[in-house]
Structure 1
Amino acid sequence: MKPIVHTFLAGTAGALLAITAPTAVNAARGNETWRELDTLMDVFLKVRESYVDQVDDKKLIEGAINGMLASLDPHSSYLDARDSENMRSQTDGEYGGLGLTVSSDEGAVRVVSPTDDTPAARAGIKSGDFITHIDDQLLYGSTLNEAVDKMRGTPGTKIKLTVVRPGAPKPLTFDLTREVIKVRPVRWEAKGNVGVIRIASFNRQTGEATRQAVTELSKKIGPDVAGYVIDLRSNPGGLLDQAIEVTDAFLERGEIVSQRGRTKDDIERYYARADDLTGGKPIVVLVDEGSASAAEIVAGALQDQKRAIVLGQRTFGKGSVQTLIPLSADSGLRLTTARYYTPSGRSVQEAGIDPDIKVPQLTDGSRIDRPRLREADLRNHLIAEKKADDKLIEDDGKPDPRFRMTADELKKQGITDFQLDYAVKLVSRLGAKPVAPAQVASSNK
């Protein structure tokens, strides 16, 4: 395979001639494309020859490629050897750093989510925070790769992050120590007769770990297990096949997700194949504005198949599929090639997944008033297909009387995570065994 430089500047020529030859209209379009490519080459040569400092040809070409891809959508990008290695380490589940998933937002570095039990999560960095300085050096104007490189380093070394949090009166400072980040994608615990499965990311181990979690919780709680809470909050997503595996663990049958490309015939559907490992026990899925991509596939599928109640806040809204296309031995292209849809045909892009029960996180006082940043806020995000709104109930804008407790009041009750506490109590009620008629009669004597 030719290097990407040749494909971009030279390899396109033959393809254009072959495609545009049949009609005069196509020929005219091909000529216009050639003129634009000539302009690109003219700019490249002028910069190379006349810029005040000598610049590297490779840097200029990669800059042109990155600019082209950035004009498409926030998730298409060129991957050099370093980027490819970073992606492999994250999907394999082990890398060095602070445990942050970040994105570029018009020149700023925005936190998508901190990974559970990492330096960033323990320090209190939150989804939606903007990292402005690293070791007192301004990040604005740096590339995302440069920012990530600065945050990664030798385990045990210190780093200082300055963060702007929407709604906070002044910047926050975090002094962190780098660690070897071994991402444990799934954790589980029993809360009374309810199994809680926390899925933090979708890497190569997530599907198997989820099945193991169900098995272990069933053994620990026993036959009286009321049901399960699947916690997908602040889960930035990951591998599509792992989202399908996780969903499959809770479904007997039916569609999980479909992905649809440019043409109407370019549709691929994925279906459940295995038995429901929970035996049909009640399920509540917890989501928030940091639940994205693969996490939204799971929540949307279980919601559409009437298999789970989705609880929390509206999700991030990343409903696009990225395909990794190798270009050379050490480079590749991450290109948005499709949108994905829930079993009922809903596009998650922009809108996200609306919970069946909207529950605020009352135990995080700053979160209530903090602006939510979602896919629709990103520059050049894909536009979703517009469909008629079939909601029957309009929001009257009044506060829900169920959620009037303050964080201090909840703390006195020993509740540190209101959404999780609400979900566990809901599952416990849904899974309660009905009382036999004879027992009711004896209790009424």
Structure 2
Amino acid sequence: MRIWKTARQTALGMAVTLALTTGLSIPSGPPAAAAEDDLYEHLNLLMRVFQRVQSEYVDEVDDREVIEAAIQGMLRSLDPHSTYLNPDVYQQVRVQMEGEYGGLGIEVQMEDGLVKVVSPIDDTPAAEAGIEGGDLISHIDGQAVMGQTLTEAVKKMRGPVGSPINITVIREGESDPFDVEIVRDRILVRSVRHRVEAETIGYIRVTTFNMQSGEGVEQAVTALKEELGGRMDGVILDLRNNPGGLLDEAVRISDAFVERGEIVSTRGRRRQNNNRWFATEGDMLDGLPMVVLVNAYSASASEIVAGALQDQRRALVIGDQTFGKGTVQSEIRLGRAGDQAIRLTTARYYTPSGRSIQERGIEPDIEVLFPRDKARKARKPRREKDLQNSIDNDTQDVDRAGEVDAMSEEEIAHIEALIEAQNDSDTAPADIQLQYAIKLLKNISMLPIPQIAEARPE
């Protein structure tokens, strides 16, 4: 009886600690007595397992690492995006969100015990080494990733600038894993780039949503308007391979092009997670036609922007169905110094029309699948719905099908012929999606204003 009381007191202490650090409440009062006893019993079980590991495991263990692994396992059992950030990783995450960090230049997540590359960041060592979205990293400097947490794997991939790292890559379409040596570098995440296409089309690419992205898009629009003046026929916003980032930046970028109305809303279990964001007056492009390019690796904040511009009938979305990561992760600081945190899924995103992005993603108004070489032609990208413990979509399907008659049948057939030719070619494919968008904007610019409105999807 004394042993049980001690364990119960220990369990109570753990429960109180959890409540104080995470804001959870402990059941109290007679109606909750059974639930309270059950909670204590499971906390006691956790402590007994921990004590057995401490005393009887074949090798001496680091208590801190074991506890962190238990926390990580608890969060991982919820969904693919809830995670624990220890002080080292938390600092790295903050630096990355600010737009500067040291490493390889890849956005990653865990999948089936391996590190999955969501996408490489442009002009970084990983991109220059040929790392692709969808690649799986099985070994880092010869050490297996299996059994490690994402935190541990990321820490191994970070290192001094100029130091080499060898990663083993598993790529769909390749018969065997292969090694890639990459030299670490100081990663300055220049998240926005722009240029002029076909003399009259503005092109803006956003590679990630960090603290500089919103300002970067606004500066890009200003620069394009100064360069082209009244000759600009439209703007292409390229969000392909963009894994997402900060919600505030997604709202700011959407607001730059939307005159009025809702941009995005979030709904969660707690009232403070139910929010709506609305556009402020003003459209930097004054209604100039827009196209948004997306693919299977456009996720999270990218999907917020694409969904907002699509639902507000401000832009045509072209490409492939997006990844479908439609959940909000709140960063909850822990510890006395606030130097560690958990990233916990607390809400879902919804487009202005009330569509949940989760699992479904954003379906393009015009599907243009980027051609791949023959060995990868049948490859089906993995999306959010394929991940273990992914959260279900809680809304009914919304039919987004609509007619877009801004191009003649002959022109559409010509583009489709180019796609087929590239599908059957062994040479590096042209950017058919981009060419399709340019051709579309050129045609829309020649239509009278009423016809432009009719060309946009319902």
TM-score (norm 1): 0.88
Pairing 1:208-247 to 2, within 5 Å after superposition? 208-247=215-254
- Please report how far the alpha carbon of residue 161 of structure 1 lies from its aligned counterpart in structure 2 after TM superposition: 2.2
Worse-superposed segment, 161-170 or 79-88: 161-170
Rate the CA distance shift 1:417–1:17 in 2: closer, same or farther, 3 A.
closer
Decide which of 279, 284, 296 is 2:303's aligned counterpart: 296
Contact 2:355 2:398 in 1 (8 A): no
Equivalent in the alignment of 2:98: 92
Over residues 241-264 of structure 1, what are the superposed CA-to-partner deviations in whole Å (9 max), with x where a residue is unaligned? 000000000000010000001158
The AA in structure 2 aligned to 1:272 is: A
Give structure 2 stretches of 5+ with no counterpart: 1-10, 403-414, 450-458
Q: How many residues align?
A: 421
The 3 A distance-change label for structure 1 pair 58 and 165 is same
Corresponding residue of 1:427: 441
Is 1:28 equivalent to 2:34 in the alignment?
yes
Which of 291, 308, 315 matches 2:315? 308
- Alignment pair present for 1:196 and 2:216: no
Q: Using a 3 Å threshold, how does the CA distance of structure 1 residues 265 and 157 change in structure 2: closer, same or farther?
A: closer
Which residue of 129, 134, 139 maps to 1:128? 134
Select the residue among 422, 446, 449 that pairs with 1:406: 422
> Does the 8 Å contact 1:20/1:29 carry over to 2?
no
Structure 2 counterpart of 1:236, which letter? Answer: P
Distance 1:7 1:94 in 2: 40
**8 Å CA contact retained: 1:410, 1:416:** no
Q: Deviations over 1:23-47 (max 9, x none)?
A: 2xx2211211111111111111111
- Change in 2 beyond 3 A, CA 1:367/1:184: farther
Q: Deviations over 1:179-219 (max 9, x none)?
A: 11100010000011000000000000000010000000011
Hey, what's the Cα distance between the residues in 2 that align with 1:60 and 1:132? 23
Amino acid at match of 2:446: A
Cα pair 1:285 1:299 within 8 Å, conserved: yes
Of residues 158-167 and 246-255 in structure 1, the stretch that sits farther from structure 2 once superposed is 158-167
Contact 1:167/1:369, CA 8 A, preserved across alignment: no
> 1:397-442: CA deviations, max 9, x gaps?
xxx9553222576969xx731111211221122123659xxxxxxx
Q: What is the DSSP-based 3-state SS (H/G/I as helix, E as strand, rest coil) of the residue aligned with 2:377?
A: helix
Aligned-residue sequence identity (percent) comes to 48
> Any idea what the Cα deviations from partners look like across 1:374-417, whole Å, max 9, x if unmatched?
11111111111141453668xxxxxx9553222576969xx731
Amino acid at match of 1:104: M
1:346 equivalent to 2:360? Answer: no
Counterpart contact for 1:359–1:419, Cα < 8 Å: yes
Distance change (3 Å), C-alpha of 1:291 and 1:115? same
2:296 and 2:236 mapped to 1: Cα distance?
A: 18
Match of residue 357 from structure 1: 366
Q: Is the 8 A contact 2:384 2:390 kept in 1?
A: yes
Give the one of 375, 378, 385 matched to 1:376. 385
Residue of structure 2 equivalent to 1:396? none
User: Which residue pairs with 2:171 in the alignment?
Assistant: 165
> Aligned partners of 2:298 and 2:376: how far apart in 1?
15
Question: Quick one: structure 1 residues 365 and 313, their matched pair in 2 at CA, closer, same or farther if it must change by over 3 Å?
Answer: farther
Rounded Cα–Cα distance in structure 2 between residues aligned with 1:411 and 1:193: 28
Distance 1:70 1:356 in 2: 35
**8 Å CA contact 1:363, 1:411 repeated in 2:** no
Moved more, 416-425 or 381-390: 381-390
**Secondary structure at the counterpart of residue 433 of structure 2:** helix
Q: Deviation of residue 172 (structure 1)?
A: 3.2
Counterpart of 2:342 (choices 321, 330, 333) is 333
Residue by residue over 1:318-377, the C-alpha shift from the partner in whole angstroms, topping out at 9 and shown as x without a partner, is 100011111121211111111110000000001111111111112665553223011111
CA distance in structure 1 between the aligned counterparts of 2:448 and 2:24, rounded to whole angstroms: 69
Q: Which residue of 2 aligns with 1:147?
A: 153
Indicate how the Cα distance of structure 1 residues 13 and 153 shifts in structure 2: closer, same or farther if over 3 A, else same.
closer
**CA contact 1:17–1:30 (8 Å) conserved in 2:** no
C-alpha deviation, 1:175, in angstroms:
2.5
SS in 1 for 2:438: helix
Are 1:67 and 2:101 counterparts? no
Partner of 1:177: 183
Letter in 2 for 1:226: D
> Given residue 238 of structure 2, which amino acid in structure 1 is its aligned partner?
D
Change in 2 beyond 3 A, CA 1:255/1:22: farther
2:287 is the alignment partner of 1:287: no
1:248 corresponds to 2:248: no
- Please, what is the CA RMSD of the aligned residues? 2.5
Alpha-carbon distance in structure 2 between the residues aligned to 1:419 and 1:77: 35
- Kept in 2, the 8 Å contact 1:363–1:418? The answer is no
Distance 1:17 1:434 in 2: 61
SS of the aligned residue for 1:175 comes to strand
Query: What amino acid is the match of 1:240?
Result: L
Is 2:373–2:424's contact at 8 Å kept on the other side of the alignment? no
- Could you list the per-position Cα deviations for residues 6-38 of structure 1 after superposition, in whole angstroms to 9, with x for gaps in the alignment? 985433579988643152xx2211211111111
SS of alignment partner, residue 193 of structure 2: strand
- AA in 2 matched with 1:142: Q
Q: Cα distance 1:364–1:200, how it changes in 2: closer, same or farther (>3 A)?
A: farther
| Separation in structure 1 between the aligned mates of residue 64 and residue 133 of structure 2, nearest angstrom | 35
8 Å contact kept, 1:97–1:153: yes
* SS of residue matched to 1:369: coil
In structure 2, what is the Cα distance between the partners aligned to 1:132 and 1:16? 37
Name the CA distance, whole Å, in 1 between partners of 2:65 and 2:416: 58
